[in-house]
């Protein structure tokens, strides 16, 4: 219909992402903000693109990241984790000037979160289309883009180059519009292009509606498919997920019942698992089951990357887990 390829198989080349590597520091007690000395835990390796690509590698998929960290322990803890899990970090530059990005997070009693971020003026804000980034893009089979990175000025040129490079090799793209509404309005052009170009769109909740610009889920899906999106996987958190195909098909997958400790990173982990399963040639329903399991397992551990798991661990989890009704 639209001439674009489906999600490319692993043989085309590794999955790449570009964006923020952060450390996350978490308050251990519920409350509001950081206005008095609190018990904290950290640093945890973090950053949506880093979580995503680490999970791709955990599942045995080819994985690489374009990023920037500071020359400090917070950069080291991230790079050691990524490298240890099998991510190609050849396109991660190390800034002498900027510190590694950071995010302090505290859960509120109502389930919301308070943050103190340092991203734009950290090393994470300094990414650009380096020679190493070009080299990665030139051999990549799939590009994944995170909405959280759209505000970083250097992302645009990386995405422009990488989409072209990946497409020319028969590769594919995916987009997780995990982005606040205000950011979409600020940079509508890039956002719209990423949506239109996506072989796989990974929204959660209201983001689906924001991406399509319409009111109901059914209309939003129809509008996105009409714009050329290959498939849409809607993340519903604990309630599970739904996959909408370009052919009008719909698959619902129930969530797993787990004791939630820390939801941060679950959506990124889910998306990475679905994509990687599909790139390995799995059918959508099986990919969705693994993705649900990976997201559920991830929320049982404190720290956004501490609960990432490979297929063996996911199979064990699925065999022993309870499902939502």
Q: How far apart are CA 240 and CA 263, in angstroms?
A: 14
Q: Are 121 and 98 in contact (CB under 8 A)?
A: yes
Nearest to 195 by CA among 154, 226, 153: 226
Report in angstroms how near the CB of residue 130 gets to its own copies at its nearest.
20
Q: Provide the binding-site residues for its own copies, judged by CB under 8 A.
A: 23, 25, 33-44, 72-74, 76-77, 80, 97-99, 102, 114, 116-118, 120-122, 303, 306
- Nearer residue to its own copies within complex by CB, 34 or 161: 34
Question: Cβ-count burial of 259 within 10 angstroms (0-12 exposed, 13-18 middle, 19+ buried)?
Answer: exposed
- Nearer residue to its own copies within complex by CB, 43 or 177: 43
Nearest to 12 by CA among 242, 122, 168: 168
Report in angstroms how near the CB of residue 87 gets to its own copies at its nearest.
18
Report in angstroms how near the CB of residue 28 gets to its own copies at its nearest.
8
Tokens of 41: 């835990």
Report in angstroms how near the CB of residue 143 gets to its own copies at its nearest.
29
Report in angstroms how near the CB of residue 77 gets to its own copies at its nearest.
5
Q: How far apart are CA 123 and CA 120, in angstroms?
A: 8
Q: How far apart are CA 301 and CA 291, in angstroms?
A: 16
- Nearer residue to its own copies within complex by CB, 73 or 285: 73
Paired sense of beta strands 241-245 and 231-235, if any: antiparallel
């Amino acid at each position: 219909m639209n001439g674009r390829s489906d999600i490319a198989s692993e043989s085309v080349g590794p999955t790449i992402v570009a964006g923020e590597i952060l450390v996350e520091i978490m308050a251990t007690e519920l409350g509001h903000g950081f206005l008095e000395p609190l018990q904290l835990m950290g640093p945890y390796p973090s950053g949506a693109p880093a979580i995503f690509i680490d999970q791709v590698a955990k599942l045995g998929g080819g994985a690489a990241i374009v990023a920037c960290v500071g020359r400090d322990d917070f950069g080291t803890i991230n790079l050691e984790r990524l490298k240890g899990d099998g991510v190609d970090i050849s396109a991660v530059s190390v800034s002498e000037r900027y510190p590694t990005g950071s995010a302090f997070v505290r859960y509120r009693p109502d389930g919301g979160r308070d943050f103190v971020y340092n991203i734009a003026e950290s090393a994470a804000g300094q990414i650009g289309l380096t020679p190493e980034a070009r080299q990665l893009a030139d051999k990549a089979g799939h590009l994944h883009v995170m909405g959280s990175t759209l505000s970083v000025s250097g992302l645009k040129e990386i995405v422009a180059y990488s989409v072209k490079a990946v497409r020319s090799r028969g590769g594919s793209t995916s987009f997780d519009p995990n982005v606040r509404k205000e950011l979409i309005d600020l940079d509508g052009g890039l956002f719209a292009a990423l949506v239109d170009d996506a072989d796989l769109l990974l929204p959660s909740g209201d983001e689906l509606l924001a991406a399509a610009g319409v009111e109901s889920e059914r209309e939003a899906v129809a509008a996105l498919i009409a714009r050329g999106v290959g498939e849409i996987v809607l993340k519903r958190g604990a309630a599970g997920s739904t996959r909408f195909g370009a052919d009008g098909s719909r698959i619902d997958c129930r969530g797993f019942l787990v004791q939630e400790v820390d939801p941060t990173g679950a959506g990124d982990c889910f998306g990475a698992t679905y994509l990687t399963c599909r790139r390995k040639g799995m059918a959508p329903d099986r990919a969705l089951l693994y993705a649900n399991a990976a997201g559920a397992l991830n929320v049982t551990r404190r720290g956004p990357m501490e609960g990432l798991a490979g297929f063996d661990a996911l199979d064990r989890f699925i065999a022993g887990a309870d499902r939502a009704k």
